Chain A
Amino acid sequence: MVRVARRVLSVLPVLFGVSVAVFLMIRLVPGDVVDVLLGTEGVASPQRLAELRRLFGLDRPFYAQYVDWAGRMVVGDLGTSLRTGRPILPDVLARLPVTIQLTGTAMVISLLLGLPFGVISAVRRHTALDSVVRVAGLVGLSMPNFWLAAMLILFVSLYWRVLPTSGYVYPSQDLVGSFRSVLLPALALGVANMAILMRMTRSSLLEVLRQDYITTARAKGVSERRVIYRHALWNALIPVVTVAGIQVGYLLGGAIIIEQIFALPGVGTLVLNAVTQRDYPLLQAAMLFIAFAFPIVNLVIDVLYSYLDPRVRYD
């Protein structure tokens, strides 16, 4: 428990650094929130500018602004959108389940396809099947997800008419329809991830299969099937779990593009709206939200990892 607590504490400096980076990022660029606001309203007098800057607290020193801002963030006040005038947090929370559903489905697809193909590739090393799987993996890794999305829309939705081209159905409305609405986006998002997990499973399994305890198991007459699935695979999967955790960041980033293509009302779309509308408080909040999610997910995986692999302890 103490070890876990220590690992939890170790993530705090990163979260602090992330919050400082997000805070400074917005403030170090030329112009500020007031310039953006007035950009749409025309020229204002110096008095009006000063008044607005005082209103937003921009006339105070950076550290004072940060303490104030961070204090509000901690209690869940992510600020107000410049464009809609609405509080940001309810908007983010309303959209979060869509992004979780999308990235979760993408991860499940990647694991369901990536792990078995990685195992097959390692077990049938240097055969035609291995070559096909490896080349397919490399191709999957090389495809831009937004292009793959366009191709999936073209073939699966427009030619074969199997799945909808875009739009989102909430699970509360129709569970099957909801799954169908995220299946294509999740495929587009998950293919590169699948390729990475497949390659990682292959190299990790090959590494484990070279170890002494595997040779011992074989020497004792254990069947090859049992050697692979009982002795080698579980140990080989440990680094794959870590990589899968790191890939959560990739999926969250990819969701920004994929949600836009498939018109999914997730956090990614919110980020993109903030960018195109120069809604800095919204961009700041969304960046902070996603950038916090990434180390926290990795922390959870790290803690789970210590249970999966007894060799890993936080000493």
Chain B
Amino acid sequence: MTDASSAQALDTSSADHDRDGRVPRWRRRNPLTLVGALILTLVALSATLAPVLAVHDPLEMNPQRLLENPSRDHPLGTDEFGRDILSRIIWGARISLYVSACSVAMALVLGATLGIVAALYGRPLDDLISRVLEVVFAFPAVLLALGIVSLLGPSVRNVIIAIGVVYTPVFGRLARATVLSAKERDYVEAARGCGASDLRLAGRHLLPNITAPLIVQTSLSLSHAILAEASLSFLGLGTQPPAASWGTMINTGQRLIEFSPWVAVFPGLAIMLAVLAFNLLGDGLRDALDPRLR
């Protein structure tokens, strides 16, 4: 849940695209991006194929096998109810990716729309939208998400709304700034001169030209959203037990850390890997779109 990345995502003015179908330079030069893409594929595959990959039922309790060390039967051990931790981590990927994807999609659509409208129509609408985004931005992300979820009640849907609201200003400000700069270009003048409506101008001409920074920001925001979902679940305000969620698993594991550290260690590593993957991808995309920041 950090905000500094938005400034970096914005700075993509000197885009350097590969035009003739060769392997893009950034992919050849930055193996870390490939590592990120690979990890992400693995996480996404485990989320999609959870019913096949998870050997055990993530909710099945086994009183005979409470807090077992990692073994052949349970490669990552069992928790305080005898549930298989590996299976719960695999199912947890589903919730984590689902919540982060939905919330970032909400923030992207809402933020980009507000940003484009603000930049396109100027004052007084711009002032109003900018002030509203500024106010939302003034709240620390965790605090705002916590406040919203505590008022709406803990559930997956409300967590999506909360995280979506929290990240809307990032996209709004980014879209506004990018459209403001794109608006001055000749092709926009030309489109206006040809009588293009505002809707056509936004959808057909401006949107395609501001997608690059928005894509970078989406990747970075997905990493923040995974952390936010895990934080809310850790605090008991996100995914509710017994559903398998990485944050809830760490919450339980934290209390057992002295004698059964595996209960907390492995879900944390899963979060770290997923977040790292999005960060690596975001960094790679940003480098590709703005080589100066490499």
Contacts and interface: CB of A to CB of B under 8 A. Distances in A.
Contacts of B150: 274-275, 278, 283
Contacts of B243: none
Contact of A275 (B146, B257, B267, B280): B146
Contacts of B230: 144, 146
A144 B272 contact: yes
A146 B131 CA distance: 33
A207 B3 contact: no
Given A18-B139, A253-B143, A247 B261 contact: no
B235 A257 contact: yes
Contacts of A158: 257-258
Interface stretch (A48-56, A222-230, A288-296): A288-296
Interface stretch (A63-71, A149-157, A169-177): A149-157
A147 B2 contact: no
Nearest to B32: A135
Nearest to A141: B279
Given A18-B139, A142-B223, A295-B138, A147 B258 contact: no
B216 to A, nearest CB: 14
Given A18-B138, A253-B143, A283-B150, A150 B253 contact: yes
Nearest to B253: A150
Contact of A146 (B4, B148, B254): B254
Contacts of B267: 147
Residue of A147, A148, A196 ringed by the most chain B CB atoms within 10 A: A147
Interface in B3-33: 3-4, 7-8, 32
Interface stretch (A21-29, A38-46, A179-187): A21-29
Contacts of A253: 1, 140-143
B104 to A, nearest CB: 16
Nearest to B231: A257
Contacts of B3: 246-247, 249-250
Interface string B265-294: 101100111011001100100000000110
Interface string A295-312: 100000000000000000
A298 B203 CA distance: 35
Nearest to A293: B140
Nearest to A147: B268
A146 B138 contact: no
A129 interface: no
B140 A252 contact: yes
Contacts of A294: 138-140
Nearest to B259: A158
B143 A290 contact: yes
Contacts of A144: 227, 230-231, 234, 247, 250, 268, 271-272, 275
Contacts of A246: 3-4
B140 A147 contact: no
Contacts of B132: 17
A79 B100 CA distance: 36
Contacts of A254: 1, 142
Contacts of A196: 2, 4
Given A138-B283, A257-B231, A146 B141 contact: no
B63 to A, nearest CB: 26
B136 A243 contact: no
Nearest to B134: A14
A207 B292 CA distance: 8
Contacts of A133: none
A200 interface: yes
A232 B267 CA distance: 42
Contacts of B234: 144, 146, 257
A294 B135 CA distance: 11
Contacts of A73: none
B134 A249 contact: no
Contacts of A178: none
Contacts of A21: 135-136, 139
Interface in B101-152: 131-132, 134-136, 138-143, 146-148, 150-152
Contacts of A142: 223, 271-273, 275-276, 279
10 tightest A-B contacts by CB? A253-B142, A253-B140, A147-B268, A17-B135, A142-B275, A142-B276, A249-B140, A275-B150, A29-B151, A150-B254
21 contacts: A14-B138, A17-B132, A17-B134, A21-B135, A142-B276, A144-B234, A146-B234, A150-B253, A158-B257, A158-B258, A196-B2, A203-B293, A206-B293, A246-B3, A250-B140, A254-B142, A257-B235, A272-B146, A275-B146, A276-B236, A294-B139
Interface of B: 1-4, 7-8, 32, 131-132, 134-136, 138-143, 146-148, 150-152, 223, 227, 230-231, 234-237, 247, 250, 253-254, 257-258, 261, 264-265, 267-268, 271-273, 275-276, 279-280, 283, 292-293
Interface of A: 13-14, 17-18, 20-21, 25-26, 29, 135, 138-139, 141-144, 146-148, 150-151, 153-154, 158, 192-193, 196, 200, 203, 206-207, 210, 243, 246-247, 249-250, 252-254, 256-257, 260-261, 271-272, 274-276, 278, 283, 287, 290-291, 294-295
Given A17-B134, A246-B3, 19 more contacts: A14-B135, A18-B135, A139-B276, A142-B279, A143-B272, A144-B250, A146-B234, A146-B254, A147-B250, A147-B272, A158-B258, A196-B4, A253-B1, A253-B140, A256-B142, A261-B254, A271-B143, A272-B146, A275-B146
